[in-house]
Structure 1
Amino acid sequence: MKNMDNPENLAQCPFRGTRVGGAMGKSPQLDDWWPNRLQVELLHQEQPVANPLSDENYKEAFNKIDLQELKKDIKAMLVDSKDWWPADYNNYGPQMIRMAWHSAGTYRIADGRGGAGQALQRFGPINSWWDNGNIDKSRRLLWPIKQKYGASLSWADLIVLTGNCALEIMNFPTFGFGGGRRDAWEPDRSTYWGPEFWNGKPFKESKVGEYYDGHPEEMVTQNLRWKGEPSDPNRDLENPLAATHQALIYVNPEGPGGNGEPKDSAMAIRESFKRMAMNDEETVALIAGGHAFGKSHGMASADKIGPAPEAAPMQAMGMGWQNSEGTGFGKYTMTNGIEGSWTPDPTSWDNNYLINLFKFEWEKTESPAGAIQWTPKDPNAPKTPDAHEEGKMNDLMMMTSDIALKVDPAYNEICQKFLNDFEYFTNAFSKAWYKLTHRDMGPKDRYLGPEVPEEDLIWQDPVPKRDFDLIEEAEITSLKQNILDSGLSVSALVSAAWSSAAIYRDSDKRGGANGARIALEPQNNWDLNRPDELNKVLSTLRSIKDDFNGNQSGNKRVSLADLVVLGGCAAIEKASKDGGFDVNVPFTPGRTDAIAEQTDVESFDWLKPVSDGFKNYHNDKVGYNIPAERIFLDRAQLLTLNAPEWTVLTAGLRVLDQNFDHSKHGVFTDRPGTLSTDFFKVLLSMDYEWVPQNDREMLFDIRDRETGNIKYTATRCDLIFGSNAQLRNIAEVYGADDGKERFIKDFVKAWDKVMMLDRYDVKDD
């Protein structure tokens, strides 16, 4: 065995991409050499081989749990303080609320990423964000519960349920709980969390001028995601981000950039919480409700705190932020640097947070760690008991983000409503907490357990329950023929079906064809959906639906949602037959039609892509500086596509004339509307050269090498399948002479996958 004290041996590793051993660091990787390379491998995360429970049916396992017994176990743990991490006020409830909140609070509405759904809080980078300081201890406290229930209880469900139990033991009535979250088994490498570099140190210790990992081009605390100064009412936060700075969940509690200005803080809060899908009332309810419990910790200076979990030494066993001040825990605990509690009774649900916020004037002070916080000016203001020293009383504390609720007129008005009606406030916080912790779960069909509320909430994008019998094979065949005989083109039918289904995003399980929201505002008027053509298709399909349903003597019915998908399937069968192959495109009936009252137009409008390579659509007005093909990769991942599925769907949609504006970019065929491998034949041919139309290199002319004539035009989202090494090798499979039948088969399979992505009513997620 090699002597690992020898530096020469430390620098050698059988995995050649890594050099180990202290400051020796890391040798260049593929993305260091070619930083602009499209990372197609991001489509292949979360492989079954990474999941030791891939053979388990989680839905069945969870439903066998006695939920009340599980909650009893959790609640007993919450009041059983441990010497290695003693509970504040002998109650772990407040810190468990923070754990659940921060797990769910990464959710953002722009792309649906983040949230509690996979317990990604267990992995980097999230587990090491300074805003998640010491949450690693909360999960360790929960390990005996997880150990007892094993594969039947995911960490994702346990984290949220523990937050609910914590609220309940402190006399707060929760709205409900739905299980069904599946754990991730590896870090999320695809989500874009922001442009800033970050050195992993506590926020207070990271100074402007320090560099991340030796990169001088961007400074640690330079906030690059905002356009405009903190006091600028028109400042804008980069899409799709929601947190106001790297390593934060929401906003800096000391104000933007730690400036201590409540008005600036209010603007940041409003933008951040809006990006988290919360309106003003929900925002105030969450802040005021959450701060009714527990305390903040700032008894040690940042230079006393060790590295975050991902950089902690091996002997720390995955726990970070080791504190060398005093015992390192209890009264010496350090998280965000702010010290104190908001209320005189931090383990009971009451309205004292708002009462004290408005009853007293507050002056700016500093915590022992040097953080900005606020203290009552009135020396007779109530005190709060110390979390660990019996008999000791401390001043109340407010953060700059708390004072923001008082100085902002709209937030102030909501606070007054909550102050005057504690029952209303309780209900508002209860529903807002439920939304926060369930927002990324998608349809209620995914919710498990006896505490799922009966009430449908508009943010769940509800669809009516089916109350009719399903159509069968004979009716399906007849309806397909009626659709094809209607005069609607293959291109129009495919476009309507794809536009309906392909806005699905697996990040928060929103979108999809079920509900037929393609026929409702705002989706039916999105420019990328060819609205004029779309509404002609919908009008024709409604007539077919009415004729069919009106002629049924029994309870058999067909929905518009089903007809939209069936029309696409029929069109693909025709397009394939025109290309020389007879195929049967799978179709599963049972979708229902939502109504306008079940659709939150403002929230649903966030599902509109800013760029969609499947349709060669790119909204330049948004101002993205990201190449279109990278956003295209993101779209493919949101649809859970692997690289071959992405490739065949793009090629098929091009020859089926699916560009949003009917342009001919990428339509490398002389027979549009026929399902063929023509896209690959042109893409891979050396008979052509590919010439950018201008310096932007967004559009390209495909010129005949011999004559110089322009044969076709293309976008970056077309040429990436020939320029990227991984995608080109896939394209060669389908572009080969023996690849035609394989292409048709794989296209149909991928098409059906997309049509079924949101069918949680019939599939086991």
Structure 2
Amino acid sequence: MTSNATCPVMSGANTESSQGPMAWWPKSLNLDILHQHDAKTNPMGPSFNYRKELKKLDIKALKRDVKKLLTTSQDWWPADWGHYGGLMIRMAWHSAGTYRIADGRGGAGTGNQRFAPLNSWPDNTNLDKARRLLWPIKKKYGNQLSWADLIVFAGTMAYESMGHKTFGFSFGREDIWHPQKDIYWGSEKEWLQKSGGEGSRYSGERDLSNPLAAVMMGLIYVNPEGVDGQPDPIKTAHDIRITFARMAMNDEETVALTAGGHTVGKAHGNGNAAKLGPPPEGAPLEEQGLGWINQETSGVGRDAVTSGIEGAWTSHPTQWDNGYFDMLLNHDWELKKSPAGAWQYEPVKIKEQDKPVDATDPSIRAMPIMTDADMAMKMDPAYRKISERFHKDPAYFSETFARAWFKLTHRDMGPKVRYFGPDVPKETLLWQDPIPAGRKTYDLKLVMSEIKASGLSNSEMITTAWDSARTFRGSDKRGGANGARIRLAPQKEWIGNEPERLSKALAIYEAIAKKTKASIADVIVLAGNIGIEGAAKAGGFNIKVPFTPGRGDATQAMTDVESFEVLEPVADGYRNWLKENYVVTPEELLLDRTQLMGLTAQEMTVLVGGLRVLGTNYGGSKHGVFTSKVGVLSNDFFVNLTNMNYAWKPTGRNSYDIVMRSTGKTKWTATRVDLVFGSNSILRAYSEVYAQDDNKKKFAEDFVAAWTKVMNADLFK
């Protein structure tokens, strides 16, 4: 059994429910993650198209309005030094910084920060004020500007306003309208729970559970005071390296982001944190949806408490410069406690003129600070080397930070074709998973005839197309059939892709593509469609599977092998395959994969049933193949699954015999993924629909519709 540290992604597979009718049966499979963001929750209606609305947006006017807002201080939440830049940058950073590469979930792409739990995380204290400050902008531009875009745009404009040349910006993030249920934030039962003990996200010496990136429940990155609140820059450096790597950042990007984020703004801890009221989700009605209100002092300006750490990092916190490295490297530092009682570092000796002025009174100088994470940039040998290079070469630091900030805030947007606006960089970056444009016009009939004459079986064609497309993640729009990366490293060697079988099919497809001028990606998908059409015809249904041409073929040079390794499947319930046994059940892993692919429970049901009878199981396994007509697209899986003449007998941890009640003889074998469609009440309801005598055609049509959705998931308009 695999440990939690290396366990596959558990996000959407977390089935425990503590609310509603299912609270009585907390281990029951929870299908809610497949039905979140239903159209009924969206106030914009089915005809709303954000892309079309964006074309009406006056981006120049928006820039002017945002930059004006940044320097227009409001009495109800006054700006430090008269500039909201630091606050807006922190908001954008904490929105984007929830992204993690393991499952592609999190990030700034949906405006999820507006909702619980993120809007009430301890690490997001007072970011509710930033979003309220932006409300006049959102109100003015309305449907032409999503909250998701505005949050990131405000942070980017803040840097420009303070003198930094940014790398670029793209609009195109579309809002959700209620919290995301599919993101696993950890198993802890309390905020900021220290490592060790029940529910800890750490095992071993300090192995962080997959797919988590933050070190504590309620933090975005690492604890600024040190590991479990105990200062130790070397230990903190270990946490930083793991956390930022899981956000797809290398050491240089990590130092750049840390320094760039702390070049401007300040931390707030000039008061008693215990006096703060509840966060937004727990605040009383009269607080207007805001949280962390201090009823004993003004709680704003000089009295604000956020992280508990108090002070700015640089001499000039409202301008972009190289002051962070000047301050960090040119001073010795000693541990102190902030007024709020948090650990922070202050310089042993510093000239009065090098101190930043007070955020509210320019006649007063304040002591600068560093966090334990900042000190890691000085004490860790690798980080120190990078910091010294940035210190000596400010231009290189600015350029590196600009690119890292762009990556941080755009990583979850997917391919460049989804970007929008005049500031989209012309340069195509490797982490954007570039794919050349494919040809949309070629002799389709010739390609089809070559595929049919190839000698490949329907099962081989369907399986190869499925394996190519199943990598798609709706979370960060990565993977999928477009690009035909299944023929490149690392995908061509993934055990789940059956390399020997795959290489046979790819050799044939590459020859067909070369002869017909079609892309290999198109050939792979078209062959799968042809296989399904043949199987449907054998079942008595003359169904045409829709095909959209135009996919391109990526090259190995366009493919970051290390980045794509996280897309490797460890299970595929659709092909009845597990790489090994895990703590997470096979059906939970199926749910997680299904949600990432953007499928509903009904689509999952019909696809599993169809793929079983088509004979596409991994390694030719017979588990769940409840038919005597393998290769024919029929509803036999559901007919026999729901037939009470059969009994199910466990034979192992994930194996069952399906026996005839009359004789006790084994008719078929199955796995948990097969039988959950007959045992779970909701999935059984779907299975019964497809088992009905009058729904044989509906089954075939629904299977084709769901198949087409998977094949086209990564074709963005």
Q: Which category describes the TM-score, using the shorter chain as reference length?
A: over 0.9
Aligned to 1:140: 132
Matched, 1:684 2:676: no
2:337 to 361, 366, 369: 366
Q: How many percent of aligned residue pairs carry the same amino acid?
A: 52
Distance of 1:535 and 1:409 partners within structure 2: 45
Structure 1 range deviating more: 667-676 or 390-399: 667-676
SS in 2 for 1:139: helix
SS in 2 for 1:676: coil
CA gap of 1:281–1:198, structure 2 versus 1, over 3 A, is same
Aligned to 1:9: none
Q: Is the 8 A contact 2:185 2:217 kept in 1?
A: yes
1:540 to 502, 508, 518: 508
One-letter amino acid matched to 2:452:
L
Aligned to 1:227: 203
Aligned to 1:23: none
Write the deviation string for residues 496-529 of structure 1: whole angstroms up to 9, x where unpaired: 1111111101111111111111111111111111
Alpha-carbon distance, 1:530 to partner? 1.3
Matched, 1:740 2:696: yes
One-letter amino acid matched to 1:177:
F
Matched, 1:271 2:242: yes
Write the deviation string for residues 375-420 of structure 1: whole angstroms up to 9, x where unpaired: 1112447311111122111111000011011111111111122112
Segments of 5+ residues of structure 2 without an aligned counterpart are 1-16
Aligned Cα root-mean-square deviation (Å): 1.7
One-letter amino acid matched to 1:420:
K
Matched, 1:109 2:101: yes
1:577 to 512, 522, 537: 537
SS in 2 for 1:661: helix
Q: Is the 8 A contact 1:86 1:330 kept in 2?
A: yes
Aligned to 2:660: 704
Write the deviation string for residues 663-722 of structure 1: whole angstroms up to 9, x where unpaired: 11112122222211111122111121111113xx32212122222222222111111111
Aligned to 1:90: 82
2:592 to 631, 634, 648: 634
Q: Is the 8 A contact 2:280 2:291 kept in 1?
A: yes
Structure 1 range deviating more: 384-393 or 306-315: 384-393
1:410 to 375, 382, 385: 382
Matched, 1:33 2:1: no
Distance of 2:713 and 2:695 partners within structure 1: 27
Q: Is the 8 A contact 2:194 2:200 kept in 1?
A: no
Distance of 1:469 and 1:101 partners within structure 2: 39
Write the deviation string for residues 631-650 of structure 1: whole angstroms up to 9, x where unpaired: 21111111111111110111
One-letter amino acid matched to 2:219:
L
Alpha-carbon distance, 1:662 to partner? 2.1
Matched, 1:425 2:389: no
Aligned to 2:12: none
CA gap of 1:610–1:300, structure 2 versus 1, over 3 A, is farther
Aligned to 2:461: 493
Alpha-carbon distance, 1:444 to partner? 0.9
Question: Aligned residue pairs: how many?
Answer: 699
Return structure 1 stretches of 4+ with deviation > 3 angstroms.
Answer: none
Distance of 1:629 and 1:223 partners within structure 2: 23
Q: Is the 8 A contact 2:496 2:570 kept in 1?
A: no
One-letter amino acid matched to 1:291:
H
Write the deviation string for residues 607-629 of structure 1: whole angstroms up to 9, x where unpaired: 112222112222337xx422221
Aligned to 1:460: 432
Distance of 2:330 and 2:498 partners within structure 1: 56
Write the deviation string for residues 28-69 of structure 1: whole angstroms up to 9, x where unpaired: 632320001111132111111211113322111112112111
SS in 2 for 1:384: coil
Aligned to 2:678: 722
Distance of 2:688 and 2:250 partners within structure 1: 50
Matched, 1:346 2:317: yes
Alpha-carbon distance, 1:191 to partner? 1.2
Aligned to 1:49: 40
Q: Is the 8 A contact 1:262 1:400 kept in 2?
A: yes
CA gap of 1:646–1:207, structure 2 versus 1, over 3 A, is closer
Distance of 1:172 and 1:361 partners within structure 2: 28
Q: Is the 8 A contact 1:325 1:332 kept in 2?
A: no
SS in 2 for 1:605: helix
Alignment of 1:579-598 (within 5 A): 579-598=539-558
Alpha-carbon distance, 1:345 to partner? 0.3
Q: Is the 8 A contact 2:172 2:419 kept in 1?
A: yes
Structure 1 range deviating more: 305-314 or 410-419: 410-419
Matched, 1:170 2:162: yes
Write the deviation string for residues 429-452 of structure 1: whole angstroms up to 9, x where unpaired: 000000000000001111111111
Alpha-carbon distance, 1:590 to partner? 0.3
Aligned to 2:617: 659
Q: Is the 8 A contact 1:358 1:406 kept in 2?
A: yes
SS in 2 for 1:182: coil
Q: Is the 8 A contact 1:94 1:166 kept in 2?
A: yes
Write the deviation string for residues 60-94 of structure 1: whole angstroms up to 9, x where unpaired: 11121121110000000000000000000100011
Write the deviation string for residues 577-609 of structure 1: whole angstroms up to 9, x where unpaired: 111211110001000101011111111111112
Matched, 1:436 2:375: no
Q: Is the 8 A contact 2:450 2:512 kept in 1?
A: yes
Distance of 1:27 and 1:196 partners within structure 2: 14
Distance of 2:435 and 2:425 partners within structure 1: 16
Matched, 1:521 2:481: no
Normalization by structure 1: what TM-score?
0.89
Aligned to 2:706: 750
CA gap of 1:27–1:261, structure 2 versus 1, over 3 A, is closer
Aligned to 1:242: 213
Aligned to 1:6: none
One-letter amino acid matched to 2:454:
S
Q: Is the 8 A contact 2:283 2:291 kept in 1?
A: yes
Q: Is the 8 A contact 1:488 1:537 kept in 2?
A: yes
SS in 1 for 2:667: strand
Aligned to 2:185: 193
Matched, 1:384 2:376: no
Aligned to 1:560: 520
Distance of 2:655 and 2:376 partners within structure 1: 48
Matched, 1:603 2:563: yes
Q: Is the 8 A contact 1:528 1:661 kept in 2?
A: no
Aligned to 1:16: none
CA gap of 1:737–1:125, structure 2 versus 1, over 3 A, is same
Aligned to 1:303: 274
Matched, 1:337 2:308: yes
Q: Is the 8 A contact 1:405 1:412 kept in 2?
A: yes
Structure 1 range deviating more: 435-444 or 295-304: 295-304
Matched, 1:180 2:172: yes
Q: Is the 8 A contact 1:99 1:138 kept in 2?
A: yes
One-letter amino acid matched to 1:510:
R
2:368 to 387, 393, 396: 396
Higher relative contact order, chain-length normalized (CA < 8 Å, sep 6+) = 2
One-letter amino acid matched to 1:43:
L
One-letter amino acid matched to 2:69:
M
SS in 1 for 2:618: coil
Q: Is the 8 A contact 2:496 2:579 kept in 1?
A: no
Distance of 1:669 and 1:301 partners within structure 2: 69
Alpha-carbon distance, 1:27 to partner? 10
Q: Is the 8 A contact 1:654 1:679 kept in 2?
A: yes
Aligned to 1:252: 223
